[in-house]
Structure 1
């Protein structure tokens, strides 16, 4: 086995992770050797020798603000929200002072139905999916849950926790995340991560899912640095959510762009592949964003976990396909779902650096990977293949994997059309992103100690994603 641990950081990231593991649960009954996944890659099996049954728990570590787990507690399901203070010489419960620290969060109707009547589950809507735990199907292990020390979840603004629940300061800067991580890291690495690693025979890598535009970005940047030191031989894929900003046509605060730049640069450096997801917060809830992007995450994951060994590929194979061993070009520009005409990436939405009429398809393509989700590649592995007919598998960048079997928790609009294939590309379009960021750093990071370092890094990345001759001039001069 080559297990993969999923580390999910933030409320939005946990919605995506929950949708992914719900799909893993949906796939458990399928044991077709040519069109199913090995559940032990992403799930930890526990065998009951008496009843001769097996149960599965996600190989996942989830980070949340306090109260962000909803009705799920560390030991499933409802956390105890009372403090018990025993009086001196207390002999029975009547001598105990009970102080309620917060109102308990009621379990969702969907969760109740899973326990008592799983054949008649209530429909999910944006109103009953405020928490990812409202529709999580698999039971996470008690050491999967990790909580911030100083920040509390807000139902009306779930992606920006509140400091000490005072309603005065949001978790919205890179530096806040860095500081918070320093206060949280010891228990995580000494206890929870250690236990997760002990449950894996041969760890292949880590999927990190996070937000980039808030304090979660700074938190994740520190987290992945520590993980790299802890797991130097593992492969890291980072899936980072980008909210709309000034470069994608939205009027958002400067903090969003500042956090996005710092978080992306640090996470990209410590990742083998970086997936810049787009979070359409102006039109979709976290539940819908998770269901939408699950099509991509599940596709990447299925290539690595499928039972068909003729088609299974490692995380390192995907790294080779998409970066050609160029560490500067490990950011995937485009992640295109061919059947629904949708790109999951933030990069194609960024305005062009040069004022030209070039379209996305006109940008130079450095590398790509096409993942087909039509089941087994019969031409490549079937006996009917003609002796002299070229095999599709001779192109190492064209991969085949299992059919997508979505969970019923994914919104209907993302399951109506079959998922046929996803093409991932690293292209010249990413140059626009890093050129814009270089200009922004030059203009807006006047007092930042790392300003020159960030300018150099964005400039180097822009150069890595360009080809041919350019006659443009940087407008990010210091005197502007």
Structure 2
């Protein structure tokens, strides 16, 4: 069955994953004559609702803080629970019930619930929570609200890496949350190919993710764990907050890369975006749309429907292409959309890997251009006619050469009514867009890790500083060429 089970940690991660699930839902076909390019069994689970009807819902576990789910309810029309009045009546005595005012659904969600087409496309001002633009139902067991912290709290914000680590330890001790929340979805799988994780790196969810992944690795020692490590824009954030986020990112990378098969940091470039791409950096709906375009497109090969002419591609195959030495668990992401994506010979014009961006004047040396593995995905109208080129590019590599895998498809990225208008191109089909993604494990990571170490030196507690410095140094060393490992680059300890 090649199942993939998804883990979503935190608000921004849930924004990105909601775009992902909306896109998967749009691939469903309802005619016998029409076949989908995507095998839905990879990411969706079959089940039975309370009324005996068949259900097909995402294989995912969704964590968020108190108040993070918005108008989304744990029970949906497919899984109606007993009414609250009946539950209260079954108790002895007359208990006092105190209820918070429920968050009301926006007009877009009301239209979807009524089974009608929303009157207008969403605007950034309409979206308050990630559930406001969700087009799928979730299994009740998928939704896990953590009441220890509140979303956007000014009194006790969930923003430090150590908070996430401590919260996981507390919950695991009390409830064994991995067994309670995660195991039921894994036990349903016939042959799980891997685990997909959406998590932020620059806040407390990074610490929560590091501990959660350690538990998952104990449970699944040989399973591929693919992590999309997200970061929020910092252009409007105060300097001290930026330092805290950078320190969180360094700590999270050090922990997550030790457990995951592949980690792909994702952040919206805060410089000038390519022509045709417009971004409201203050809108999580906008930011997550761009990041989800990249993550969904890059991972598309792992869920392609097998038609007899193509070989199955798993998350482990993709990770193996990038992790050539066995120690290269970090990859850079680049992407082009629209007309730029059709120029397949060009390097994608958006760099979404903003981890420890290089300082001005930092030496770049020979290993910065050295690529160990590269995984490219092309979505364009004529993609299906280039299968011969794809096969030729995916031959067994020569030892020492860059491992290259190219995947092409005619399935364009759908621009749904739940998707913001961030791509403004004059194209024939306004409902779909071409996308070109490139994942690479290359020598630039050496310098990014050195830069990250130097920038967080004063932000890390003394007792953690040495372990972090050694961890980032080892991570960067995996991307050094044999002939450049003894270069003249400075490598001072933190």
Contact residue 84 and residue 98 of structure 1 kept, 8 A = no
1:409 partnered with 2:442: no
Contact residue 268 and residue 290 of structure 2 kept, 8 A = no
1:366 partnered with 2:367: no
| In 2: Cα distance, 1:451 partner to 1:251 partner | 19
Shift of 1:420: 3.6
Contact residue 210 and residue 256 of structure 2 kept, 8 A = yes
Alignment RMSD:
3.6
Moved more, 75-84 or 426-435: 75-84
| In 1: Cα distance, 2:34 partner to 2:261 partner | 29
Counting only pairs closer than 5 Å after superposition, residues 323-402 of structure 1 correspond to structure 2 as 323-327=323-327, 329-337=328-336, 339=340, 341-347=349-355, 350-352=357-359, 354-355=361-362, 363-374=369-380, 377-380=384-387, 391-394=392-395, 397-401=405-409
- The corresponding residue for 1:438 is 453
Q: 1:461 aligns with which of 475, 478, 493?
A: 475
Contact residue 372 and residue 420 of structure 1 kept, 8 A = yes
Helix, strand or coil at the partner of 1:183: helix
| In 1: Cα distance, 2:85 partner to 2:366 partner | 56
| In 2: Cα distance, 1:37 partner to 1:89 partner | 52
1:184 partnered with 2:171: yes
- Residues 2-59 of structure 1: per-residue CA shift (max 9 Å, x gap): 10011000011001111100001100017889861011100112379x99x8532110
Contact residue 377 and residue 406 of structure 2 kept, 8 A = yes
Counting only pairs closer than 5 Å after superposition, residues 121-200 of structure 1 correspond to structure 2 as 121-154=119-152, 162=153, 167-185=154-172, 186-200=175-189
- Residues 147-186 of structure 1: per-residue CA shift (max 9 Å, x gap): 22310123xxxxxxx3xxxx42211111111111122233
Distance 1:367 1:124, change over 3 A: same
| In 1: Cα distance, 2:144 partner to 2:362 partner | 46
Moved more, 418-427 or 369-378: 369-378
- The corresponding residue for 1:263 is 252
Q: 2:223 aligns with which of 224, 234, 246?
A: 234
Shift of 1:460: 2.1
| In 2: Cα distance, 1:344 partner to 1:9 partner | 20
1:106 partnered with 2:123: no
1:223 partnered with 2:237: no
| In 2: Cα distance, 1:424 partner to 1:111 partner | 35
Helix, strand or coil at the partner of 2:98: strand
- The corresponding residue for 1:275 is 264
Contact residue 6 and residue 206 of structure 1 kept, 8 A = yes
Counting only pairs closer than 5 Å after superposition, residues 264-303 of structure 1 correspond to structure 2 as 264-279=253-268, 283-303=281-301
Distance 1:415 1:346, change over 3 A: same
Shift of 1:233: 2.5
| In 2: Cα distance, 1:134 partner to 1:434 partner | 37
Contact residue 71 and residue 104 of structure 1 kept, 8 A = yes
Shift of 1:412: 2.2
Q: 1:423 aligns with which of 405, 428, 438?
A: 438
Distance 1:144 1:35, change over 3 A: closer
Shift of 1:284: 4.0
Helix, strand or coil at the partner of 2:438: strand
Aligned residues: 448
- The corresponding residue for 1:157 is none
Shift of 1:297: 1.7
- The corresponding residue for 1:159 is none
Helix, strand or coil at the partner of 2:21: helix
Gaps of 5+ in 2: 271-279, 342-348, 397-403, 428-432
| In 1: Cα distance, 2:304 partner to 2:422 partner | 26
Contact residue 206 and residue 249 of structure 2 kept, 8 A = yes
| In 1: Cα distance, 2:113 partner to 2:445 partner | 47
Distance 1:419 1:286, change over 3 A: same
| In 2: Cα distance, 1:141 partner to 1:471 partner | 55
Gaps of 5+ in 1: 155-161
Shift of 1:428: 1.6
Distance 1:187 1:126, change over 3 A: farther
